[in-house]
A = this chain, B = another copy of it.
Amino acid sequence: MPTASTRSTPSPTGLQCRMALLGADVRLTPHRREVFEVLASSTDHPTATDVFDRVKARTPSISLATVYNCLEHLTSAGLIKQVHLERGQSRYCANLHEHVHFHCETCGKVIDAHPAADFDPAKFWVLPKGTKVTRMDIAIHGTCDACAAKS
């Protein structure tokens, strides 16, 4: 008869699926789980302190240093993505599908934008022969629907 200490986790989390899928090996501590859960249930690309505040609601003892640490480990394992806009604080994103970020310069909202079906990015810019491209970082700036409507 399973006791509290031996019961298995309630259900495979998105995190576990993700780890299996990616063959990532990070120790899955309770804190890292919490940080991931917060991020996976956010669509607004929170900063480290945003994540800190949200995790704190459920785990008041966690420290900001640990949040930074968790975000760093989850990121380098490829389980989440770090997002940079201009020189603002780093934001984090749990969406692993190929996508870019739209930033509304009026309200500050950051939303995901996915590439159209027929999109091959590498061929649109002229690079010196021999250059190897590994990754592109694309941010689109403008005004979101709601803000555009207001003006």
Contact = CB atoms under 8 A, between A and B. Distances in A.
Contacts of A121: 124
A90 interface: yes
Contacts of A119: 124-125
Interface stretch (A26-34, A42-50, A54-62, A107-115): A107-115
A140 B136 contact: yes
Nearest to A119: B124
Given A84-B86, A87-B90, A139-B137, A144 B126 contact: no
A134 B148 CA distance: 12
Q: How many copies does the complex hold?
A: 2
A1 interface: no
A116 interface: yes
A95 interface: no
A134 B105 contact: yes
Interface in A99-137: 100, 102, 105, 111, 113-116, 119, 121, 123-137
Which among A90, A125, A142 has the highest number of chain B CB atoms within 10 Å? A125
A141 interface: yes
B124 A116 contact: yes
B131 A143 contact: yes
Contacts of A132: 142-143, 148
